[in-house]
Amino acid sequence: MEIVESPFELRELCNRVRAAGKRVGFVPTMGALHRGHLALVHEAKRRADFVIVSVFVNPTQFGPTEDFSRYPRTFEADRRCCEEAGVAAIFAPSREAMYPSGEETRVTVGITDKPLCGVHRPGHFEGVATIVAKLFALVGPAVAVFGRKDYQQWRVLVRMTADLMLPVEVVGLATVRDADGLAISSRNRYLSESERVRALSLARGLSMAVVAFNGGERRAGALRRIVVAEVEPMADSIDYVAVAEPEGLQPFEEDALVGGRALVAIAVKLGVTRLIDNVVLGEDPAPI
Ligand SMILES: Nc1ncnc2c1ncn2[C@@H]1O[C@H](COP(=O)(O)OP(=O)(O)OP(=O)(O)O)[C@@H](O)[C@H]1O
Ligand SMILES: [Mg+2]
């Protein structure tokens, strides 16, 4: 497995791989790798011949009060994890390599990045879209795999890729969960024991919404309140609990009826940790 730090070496490596007739698969991450990331790698290996994982804690997607400087950085463990998973190369650039002095271009996605997390993390999806566009330009992947745990991120990147006519297939993989239903995330390691117990209310609330939907409930407000009732007593604060249209992500009015599919998305804080989770009603199984 190669470890590449220079963007231009990465581009040359990918050029050679493609010239040899191989399909490049790409999994962008911020490191602190876990089973969720590994599922993305396995999916990329199924769809491509040469899989590249990037490990880069992207400063432009963190807000000024967020955890950029204390984000977990575990490169040695990440390297071993990728090696065992059959990753062909890791790209681990410096901040200066990806944002050299004088750079000033940002990629902004219009409507998809506004609701849900867009309200609470201004500039976050612009940072995500910008770094992913740069990475796509360096790697030239045939396919890139993202997790639907970060559902809005996936939709923003699908939109960006279509709008910029980038020749990449953007795949969204189902959320990988711990045995008790908690969506796996690098930030879960911040949770205390009691916070982790309280965090299960997210998967529980979403499961209750799935059961209600499968039992015929279609009122957006009623579905939303089922989740709120479960999560509110357990979270320290709620950023949002939303029932939204699954492609454009616009939240339904409380008195609207959802159709055959609807996204239910949650963002809460537990202590210092911000957790997100979601299901698509009419599509995903209950998390618990
Ligand atoms: N539990 C999971 N199941 C599937 N994909 C996941 C899961 N967790 C993260 N991913 C995906 O891994 C990719 C890299 O995400 P990232 O490195 O930010 O990990 P993370 O666990 O989301 O970390 P954090 O919670 O700190 O943001 C993203 O496409 C993300 O959606
Ligand atoms: Mg993440």
Same domain, 165 and 276: no
DSSP, collapsed to helix, strand or coil, labels residue 280 as strand
Number of domains into which the chain is organized: 2
In a domain, 209, yes or no: yes
To the nearest 10 degrees (0 to 180), the angle between helices 220-231 and 193-214 is 160
In a domain, 179, yes or no: no
* Residue 195 CB less than 6 A away from ligand 1: no
pTM over cut 0.95: yes
pLDDT, the chain, mean: 98
Q: Per-residue confidence at 277, pLDDT binned at 50, 70, 90?
A: very high
Same domain, 128 and 225: no
Of 127, 144, 173, the position where a domain reaches its end is 173
Q: Using CB atoms within 10 A of its CB, is residue 19 exposed (0-12), middle (13-18) or buried (19+)?
A: exposed
Angle made by CA atoms 259, 158, 90, in degrees to the nearest 5: 135
**What is the Å distance from ligand 1's center to 288 Cα?**
20
* Residue 44 CB less than 6 A away from ligand 1: no
Report the first-to-last Cα separation within the chain, whole angstroms. Answer: 37
Element (H, E) at 18: helix 7-19
Average pLDDT over residues 150-175: 98
Same domain, 138 and 87: yes
pLDDT in tens, 57-69: 999 999 999 999 9
Give the pLDDT confidence score for residue 175 in this predicted structure.
98
pLDDT in tens, 207-226: 999 999 999 999 999 999 99
Give the pLDDT confidence score for residue 52 in this predicted structure.
99
- Site to probe by mutation for ligand 1, drawn from 34, 37, 131 as the one with most ligand atoms within 8 Å of Cβ, is 37
Query: Which residues are bridge partners to 237 per DSSP?
Result: 269
Give the pLDDT confidence score for residue 125 in this predicted structure.
98
In a domain, 226, yes or no: yes
Same domain, 192 and 109: no
Give catalytic residue positions: 37
User: Which residues form the domain of 96?
Assistant: 2-173
Average pLDDT over residues 3-24: 98
CATH of the domain at 251: 3.30.1300.10
CATH of the domain at 68: 3.40.50.620
Give the pLDDT confidence score for residue 262 in this predicted structure.
98
**What is the Å distance from ligand 2's center to 150 Cα?**
7
